[in-house]
Amino acid sequence: MTSIPRSLLPIAATLALVAGTAHAAGPAQSNPAKPKVAAGKTIAGMWALTKTEYDRHEAMPLTPKALALQETARKAREEGGAVLSASGRKCLPIGMPTFMTNEFALEVLTAPDRVTLLSENSSLPRSVYLDEAKHPGDIEASWNGHSIGHWEGRVLVVDTVGFNDRVGPVGNAGVHSPTTHLTERLYLKDPDTLVDEMTFEDPTYLTRPWVNVHSYRRLPPHSELWEYACEVDAPGWSERYAGDPEAKLPK
Amino acid sequence: MKITAPALAFLAVLGAAPAFAHHAFNMYENDRYVTLTGTVKTWTWKNPHAMIDFVTDPATGKTDTWSVECSSPNIIGRRGWSMDSLHVGDHLTLTLHPMKDGSKYGLMVSVITPKGATLKDKD
């Protein structure tokens, strides 16, 4: 290999950058460049939920308030014919924790100061800020909450608060309320398996912390992130919940 | 079938759900499997759910037309399905969960294509 004199290194680096830019802007390559970090050593990439893990749950330690809400929902469903949830009828964002626990593909992007998670089932990304030691004091309540994180070796630890009151608050995958505190540990169990250990704390709906673990399989190389839109007027959609007493069919 | 009672509770309360995004599925008999043979009348590869209209073989001199709801293309597209998986006129064997009300509407479980490949939507 030809060595480059030390004095020319900055020029060489610039040329490499220019070359890289030209490559990126050029036509699609049949043999895409090898990623700098080998797949299998990073949580970055495209993932899909592994259903066998999803279905493994311990009973949630619910407070009387949460149990009463569950009973109301059960009655609406079994006795009132409710098919769609209120958020489903309105095409509202899925929010957390469903963001992480649905079967649509998930993309994880890592940068030095943040990790971004994209779900094909959500128009709202999740941003995990790695450069904030604590949550700001004026968080606006939101669907995905406010997340800060740090790396413990190869484990990404994510701390999330600031959920709104528009989802849940109690579901099979966890809780989502203004009093919810969610801690996640994201790591690779093996090169092609991502794990998300979620610990929920919520004095309103849980009597003690509750842990829920999901795993995801790595999608094949070069898998793309597909669009998905919630469309209440899509063909075949309205018929499905026509029997729901609360359904207002779009005109 | 892996979908459990807690999963049903989740659907109604938290809303969007795995495989059945946007709506619950308590209108289906999720523990009943019906297998039919027949011919594809329409095949729609479109969100929020792929759909098949399907005319059954005339078992007793009469045919039925079923509408079968599949998961979103985003979901089954990761399980080996594509827009070209099925075509109008294909003769298929498919397995579905029927509606509780007896209408000819079902939830896709799996299909065997004319080439003999099995495409799964749900376990």
In angstroms, the separation between the Cα of residue A155 and the nearest Cα of chain B is 26
In a domain? residue B21: no
The mean-pLDDT minimum among A112-116, B11-15, B59-63 falls in B11-15
Contact by Cβ (8 Å): A246, A82:
yes
Chain A from 143 to 162: CB within 8 A of any B CB: none
In a domain? residue B57: yes
Query: What's the pLDDT score for residue B112?
Result: 96
In a domain? residue B10: no
Nearest to A43 by CA among A222, A218, A223: A218
Angle made by CA atoms B107, A89, B51, in degrees to the nearest 5: 30
Terminal Cα distance for chain A, rounded: 69
- From chain B, pick out residues whose CB is under 8 angstroms from the CB of A240: 23, 27, 69
Instruction: Chunk chain A into consecutive blocks of 10 residues (it has 251) and report each block's average pLDDT, rounded to whole numbers.
Output: 44 41 39 50 92 69 93 78 67 91 95 97 95 95 97 96 91 91 96 94 97 93 91 63 57 44
In a domain? residue B20: no
Query: What's the pLDDT score for residue B76?
Result: 94
pTM exceeds 0.80, yes or no: no
CATH code for the domain of B58: 2.40.50.140
In angstroms, the separation between the Cα of residue B81 and the nearest Cα of chain A is 14
In angstroms, the separation between the Cα of residue B57 and the nearest Cα of chain A is 24
Q: Which domains, and CATH codes, for chain A?
A: 45-240 (2.40.128.20)
Contact by Cβ (8 Å): A125, A147:
no
Contact by Cβ (8 Å): A65, A203:
no
Query: What's the pLDDT score for residue B43?
Result: 95
- From chain B, pick out residues whose CB is under 8 angstroms from the CB of A234: 46-48
In a domain? residue B8: no
In a domain? residue B93: yes
Question: Strands A155-161 and A146-152, how do they pair?
Answer: antiparallel
Percent of chain B with pLDDT over 90: 59
- Helices and strands counted in chain A (H then E): 6, 11
Query: What's the pLDDT score for residue A243?
Result: 63
CB contact under 8 A, A121 and B21: yes
Nearest to A167 among B15, B21, B123 (CB): B15
Query: What's the pLDDT score for residue A86?
Result: 66
Residue B11, pLDDT > 60, answer no
Listed ranges A33-47, A133-147, B8-22, B52-66; the one with the highest mean pLDDT: A133-147
Question: Strands B91-98 and B51-56, how do they pair?
Answer: unpaired
CA gap A168, A119 in Å, rounded = 19
For B26, name the nearest residue in chain A, comparing CA atoms only.
A83
Nearest to B14 among A49, A98, A235 (CB): A98
Number of structural domains, chain B?
Answer: 1
Query: What's the pLDDT score for residue A10?
Result: 44
- From chain A, pick out residues whose CB is under 8 angstroms from the CB of B21: 94, 102, 104, 121, 230
Is residue B61 less than 8 Å (CB to CB) from chain A?
no
Is residue A171 less than 8 Å (CB to CB) from chain B?
yes
Instruction: Give the sign of the dihedral formed by CA A81, CA A87, CA A89, CA A93.
Output: negative
ipTM, two decimals, is 0.70
List pLDDT tens digits, range B94-103. Answer: 999 998 888 8
In a domain? residue B51: yes
CB contact under 8 A, A73 and B71: no
Chain A from 5 to 64: CB within 8 A of any B CB: 48-49, 51-52, 54-55, 57
More confident residue, B16 or A69: A69
Could you tell me the residue range of the domain that residue B62 belongs to?
Answer: 29-120
Nearest to B74 among A77, A176, A228 (CB): A228
Is residue B24 less than 8 Å (CB to CB) from chain A?
yes
* Mean pLDDT to the nearest integer, B78-82: 93
CB contact under 8 A, A228 and B51: no
In a domain? residue B24: no
Query: What's the pLDDT score for residue A117?
Result: 98
Query: What's the pLDDT score for residue A140?
Result: 94
Is residue A236 less than 8 Å (CB to CB) from chain B?
yes
Residue B79 one-letter amino acid = R
| Residue B64 binned pLDDT confidence (cut-offs 50, 70, 90) | very high
Query: What's the pLDDT score for residue A95?
Result: 94
